[in-house]
Structure 1
Amino acid sequence: MGIFDALNTAVGGLQSQSFALQNISGNIANASTTGYKGIDTSFEDLIPDATTPSRQVAGGVTAFAQATITTQGTVSTTTVGTNMAINGDGFFNVQKSTGTVDNVPQFSGVTDYTRRGDFQVNANGNLVNGAGYFLMGVAVDPKTGNPLGNVPKVLQFQNNFIPAQTTTSINYAANLPSTPTTATSATSTAGTINALGGLNPHDFSVNPMPTSTPATPAGDNTITGTAANQVGPAGPITTSTVLSGAVNGLASPFAGGDTMTVNGTVIHFVNTGSTAGTTAAGVTPINVDISDTVGTLLGKIDAITGTTAASTITGGAITLHTGTAGNLSVASSNSTAFSALGFSGTVTQSLTPPLTAGTGTVIANDQQTFLNESISGGALTAYDSTGTAVNLQLRWAKTDSAALGGTHTNTWSLFYQADPNATGTQVAWVNAGTNFTFGAAGALTSPATPSITIPNVTVGNQSLGNLAFSIPSGALTQYASTGGTATINAVTQNGYAAGQLQSVAINNNGIVVGTFSNGQNLDLASVSLSHFNGTNYLKALDGGAYAVTEQSGPAILGASGTISGSSLEGSNTDIASEFTKLIVTQQAYSANTKVITTANSMVQDLLNVLR
């Protein structure tokens, strides 16, 4: 050991500091490089061997590169949908093109790894980053989203084409008004289903209710006379008005001997205490004492017609019922007294005709009636098996209302338009075949299942087959609505026409999502990540890529890191830190040069001894 050893040690110091300066220079130069991982310098002392510690001297130095691959760079957002950044552990699997054949890139099959995520789609539909590395991943089925294999391959999305998908289900959410406003509701008789905004099957030539609805017998019908007044200032007649007119009576009172014929049965008006009524042999006569009231008379009439709904007087106007046993015919021998009740001549009214068996369809001849007694339920574009668009119109009809009292419930039927060009007896609208019933609070009580099947849906000549009509929990309600119309909150379907790929983007789950010409956004591929046991022992390649080494260990598919779409990871270089290192390196380098000049001076002094 001596002066010459000091010279050699100082030279080693200069070399090591030069090595450090080169790393600092490279780190500063790549301060803005996407995904760049800085290289630190590690110094190692070289101690010469000595027999005893007391004779040991400080040795030389050598420098080694120390990778910082595991140090995260800052992630920032971009406006490019195919840019990606990895948060945490992991690398993108990439390959470098070895050349092109017929404008198609060729690959050696060797996979490299990078954190540089500035990928963009090239002319061949590959995702290539700024350093020319091609992204790898696993393709997925665009309809199911299931992976098509598990080995990453170079991704390509050129001219991707998806076939049409038939509509098989509809998701629906709406509020139906508790009292619908229809074209007929404002002019309908109070207390009827029409007045409550509903649909009356008796208004149709063909019963539009489902086949399961049985034909009903003839129903009660009514006829109302004109408002009649009592004698003097007493006002309109009431059920308490006396028939004889002696006290607060009719303007033209009934007298003993008058008769009234109801459906062929004679009612005799008799003086008080008289039993002068005559009928056929063996039949008890029907007598009404002229001192009785109009209410008594109406009771006799109701008994003959057999109606369960009592005749009423409102504002002096009498309403008579046909009952269900036959048509109504009422005449009186005292025409003036009959007129005083608000009727003239012979009163006739037919039963409500019986309903025919339900077909569940609305024919074209009844279409206007149907439109007048129902409300719009929205519309959607569905698709048949060829991808042809089908305009599916929906309407709701309230077929029963709890406001009618008794056992009536709030019940609705859903219809869809089967043929917009139907005429005559051709089917224009079809009942979905399910009664939708709501409780008093407006919640759906039936059907209990959230989905029904509408069978064999056909619009014009376009067949959609069976459609699942799905209603999320609580999504179909019947609350009050000031407009009396349905409020459609959602109406979607799962079909689409065929489409061609227009663009791709990568979401935060690392899924490549394609946007197609038919408006669909479908999953096309999953970006693969890999990790290593010895990450910092990877071999750095040009362009921010890394190759596997023996010290790094093989690539392990999968990583704990997550992908952020439309983002980039910046360089992990800290400029302030590098400048500090630069100062220290410069001083160390200068100090080593001083050692050399000092050693040189000492050698010169030694040489001067020989003179």
Structure 2
Amino acid sequence: MGVFSALTTAVSGIQAQSYALENISGNIANSRTAGFKRVDTTFSDLVPDSALNRQISGSVAAYSQATNSIQGDLTATRIDTNAAINGDGFFVVDQRLNGVGTNTQFSNSNIYTRRGDFDFDANGYLVNGAGYYLKGLKIDTVTGSLIGTQPEVLRITKEQFPAKATTSIEYRANIPAFPGTNNANVATPGSELLSPTGFTSNPLSTTEGGTGVVIGSEITSFLNQSIPGGSVTVYDSLGKATSVELRWAKTANAAAGPPATVDTWNLFVAQDTSATGAAVAYRNVNTSITFGSTGQLTAPATGNIALPTLTIAGTTISGIQVTAGGNGLTQNGDVSGQIDARSIRQDGYTAGTLDRTSVSADGQVIGTFSNGQVVALAQLSVARFNADNALKRLDGGAFEETIESGPPIIGLGTSQLIGGNIEQSNTDIADEFSKMIVTQQAYSANTKVITTAQEMLQDVFSIIR
């Protein structure tokens, strides 16, 4: 039976090499397919049971060997919604069943892929080139916390990002010890101070016995005795913008002696710079701001100054605090005599629409809005497996969980996402060509065995004749 066994063994060899060639062909065909994982071929000998000194080499069977854990090269695409996983893991995706827009129905099953060429479709879903829909968890744009615990298909629409009223103005500045007002004269002590003399309405703060307002008819006198402190755009609850202009006036100089014991300043906010007559032009914040001998702020101790409620150009602002902190405001010598405003920033903004999205290294979908706000919109779900190569292959570079692969472990772990990139196929064409040559030689050798066995059988038949 040796010749007949040789025939069947050679046939198994031909079948095994054909199987290997089929895998090589698929690998080469998908050498440019994003996220593709090549399939290698392994061979196993099949040995019939026989006595120790009668064992034969046996036939062969071919099996697939997955390379899901071998990463392909990452290529930049400049498409913000594309993402590549650098390290372990798979994107969690789903398949569309039917419907369109908000009525789209999905299979509600978790499928896994390394193909990260995601882009928005007309309905705001992130879909890759193979038609799989990206899943993740939505993020509350107000609190920044995740919504839900189970991944769902992500839909990001261009809804308006609501406006936020300004509540705080961060102010960092140095106030000159000797303000360079229009009336200031180094040779005349007190000329740098805001003096209520000559004002019909005393502009000093109410804590210093004044009315706390500058009226329209006295704007020129006030401007000559104060210095500009900068301006900032603030927003009301509807996102309407208005400009807040600050001016500073020194009201007491400790160097002049009693009754002044500290340098005292008043802060004013412009309400209507075109006011006339008795209409209010500037309003005092009615807080005495004092500095010690070293130029450090002594009052208010917290460094916070509440602005009064104002109506500026038809927009009412209220509840705003100027926050300077412990060292934000100083009074040091300055030859210019003007305020050096190092930082004037506020926390409000107008309503905005989504301009662009991108993917961060930790897997967040980041939205950039037309009002300048940058907010996390969603957290992509990335799954890792204890046995990546035991996943079952599906069309489109996708995989599904098996008993052998174990359940998914959701989370990036030590991996990271690279936005604007996609992972290429891990096929090496040069290596596949080398394997193809070896496969061809093995296939030809097996056919030669069949030819030789046939010739030997013909010799047997010739004996009978």
TM score, norm. by length of structure 1: 0.70
| TM alignment of 1:79-94, pairs within 5 A | 79-94=78-93
**Residue 374, structure 1, aligned to residue 220, structure 2:** no
| Separation of aligned partners in 1, 2:254 and 2:435 | 86
Supply the AA of the counterpart residue of 2:187.
Answer: A
Q: Tell me what 1:559 maps to.
A: 412
| Separation of aligned partners in 2, 1:369 and 1:598 | 118
Q: Tell me what 1:522 maps to.
A: 375
Q: 1:435 deviation in Å?
A: 4.0
| Separation of aligned partners in 2, 1:441 and 1:47 | 95
Structure 2: gaps (5+ residues): none
**Residue 383, structure 1, aligned to residue 235, structure 2:** yes
Change in CA separation of 1:425 and 1:22 when aligned onto 2, cut-off 3 Å: same
Can you list the C-alpha shifts for 1:139-159, whole angstroms capped at 9, x where unaligned?
222233222222222122234
Q: Tell me what 1:395 maps to.
A: 247
Q: 1:124 deviation in Å?
A: 1.0
Change in CA separation of 1:559 and 1:423 when aligned onto 2, cut-off 3 Å: same
Q: Tell me what 1:275 maps to.
A: none
Can you list the C-alpha shifts for 1:379-435, whole angstroms capped at 9, x where unaligned?
222111222112211222333446546765444333222334433333322233444
Q: Tell me what 1:148 maps to.
A: 147
| TM alignment of 1:264-303, pairs within 5 A | none
Q: 1:117 deviation in Å?
A: 1.2
Among 344, 348, 362, the residue aligned to 1:509: 362
Q: Tell me what 1:158 maps to.
A: 157
Structure 1: gaps (5+ residues): 214-356
Contact 1:420 1:460 in 2 (8 A): no
Change in CA separation of 1:400 and 1:45 when aligned onto 2, cut-off 3 Å: farther
**Residue 207, structure 1, aligned to residue 59, structure 2:** no
| TM alignment of 1:538-557, pairs within 5 A | 538-557=391-410
Larger radius of gyration: 1
| Separation of aligned partners in 2, 1:526 and 1:437 | 49
Q: How many residues are treated as equivalent by the alignment? A: 463
| Separation of aligned partners in 1, 2:328 and 2:431 | 60
| Separation of aligned partners in 2, 1:418 and 1:474 | 28
Among 488, 513, 520, the residue aligned to 2:341: 488
Contact 1:193 1:399 in 2 (8 A): no
Q: 1:474 deviation in Å?
A: 4.0
Change in CA separation of 1:534 and 1:180 when aligned onto 2, cut-off 3 Å: same
Q: 1:489 deviation in Å?
A: 2.9
Structure 2 residue matching 1:162: 3-state secondary structure = coil
Structure 2 residue matching 1:151: 3-state secondary structure = strand
Q: 1:59 deviation in Å?
A: 1.4
* Stretch moving more, 467-476 or 147-156: 467-476
| Separation of aligned partners in 2, 1:610 and 1:165 | 103
| TM alignment of 1:98-497, pairs within 5 A | 98-101=97-100, 105-185=104-184, 188=185, 190-195=187-192, 198-202=193-197, 204-213=199-208, 357-401=209-253, 404=256, 408-438=261-291, 442-459=295-312, 461-471=314-324, 474-497=327-350
Change in CA separation of 1:53 and 1:175 when aligned onto 2, cut-off 3 Å: farther
Q: Tell me what 1:44 maps to.
A: 44
Supply the AA of the counterpart residue of 1:540.
Answer: R
Change in CA separation of 1:374 and 1:36 when aligned onto 2, cut-off 3 Å: farther
| Separation of aligned partners in 2, 1:526 and 1:419 | 47
| Separation of aligned partners in 2, 1:517 and 1:600 | 80
| Separation of aligned partners in 1, 2:326 and 2:452 | 90
Contact 2:6 2:453 in 1 (8 A): yes
Change in CA separation of 1:450 and 1:595 when aligned onto 2, cut-off 3 Å: farther
Change in CA separation of 1:212 and 1:42 when aligned onto 2, cut-off 3 Å: same
| Separation of aligned partners in 1, 2:395 and 2:186 | 87
| Separation of aligned partners in 2, 1:67 and 1:450 | 65
Q: Tell me what 1:608 maps to.
A: 462
Can you list the C-alpha shifts for 1:435-479, whole angstroms capped at 9, x where unaligned?
444455655454443544335354354333211322366444445
Change in CA separation of 1:102 and 1:447 when aligned onto 2, cut-off 3 Å: closer
Supply the AA of the counterpart residue of 2:227.
Answer: I
| Separation of aligned partners in 1, 2:367 and 2:215 | 45
Change in CA separation of 1:435 and 1:506 when aligned onto 2, cut-off 3 Å: farther
Q: 1:103 deviation in Å?
A: 8.7
Contact 2:166 2:235 in 1 (8 A): yes
| Separation of aligned partners in 2, 1:523 and 1:474 | 32
Contact 1:396 1:413 in 2 (8 A): yes
| TM alignment of 1:53-92, pairs within 5 A | 53-92=52-91
Contact 1:209 1:361 in 2 (8 A): yes
Structure 2 residue matching 1:148: 3-state secondary structure = strand
| Separation of aligned partners in 2, 1:445 and 1:7 | 102
| Separation of aligned partners in 2, 1:576 and 1:409 | 83
Supply the AA of the counterpart residue of 1:212.
Answer: T
Percent sequence identity over aligned pairs: 48
| Separation of aligned partners in 1, 2:253 and 2:74 | 61
Contact 1:28 1:573 in 2 (8 A): yes
Contact 1:417 1:430 in 2 (8 A): yes
Contact 2:215 2:277 in 1 (8 A): yes
Q: 1:82 deviation in Å?
A: 0.9
| Separation of aligned partners in 1, 2:30 and 2:71 | 15
Q: 1:66 deviation in Å?
A: 1.2
TM score, norm. by length of structure 2: 0.90
Q: Tell me what 1:574 maps to.
A: 428
| Separation of aligned partners in 1, 2:326 and 2:11 | 81
Contact 1:96 1:134 in 2 (8 A): yes
| Separation of aligned partners in 2, 1:450 and 1:87 | 47
**Residue 586, structure 1, aligned to residue 405, structure 2:** no
Q: Tell me what 1:342 maps to.
A: none
Contact 1:104 1:124 in 2 (8 A): no
Q: Tell me what 2:7 maps to.
A: 7
| Separation of aligned partners in 1, 2:64 and 2:326 | 63
Supply the AA of the counterpart residue of 1:575.
Answer: I
* Stretch moving more, 25-34 or 11-20: 25-34
Q: 1:564 deviation in Å?
A: 1.8
Contact 2:175 2:338 in 1 (8 A): yes
Q: CA RMSD in A?
A: 2.6
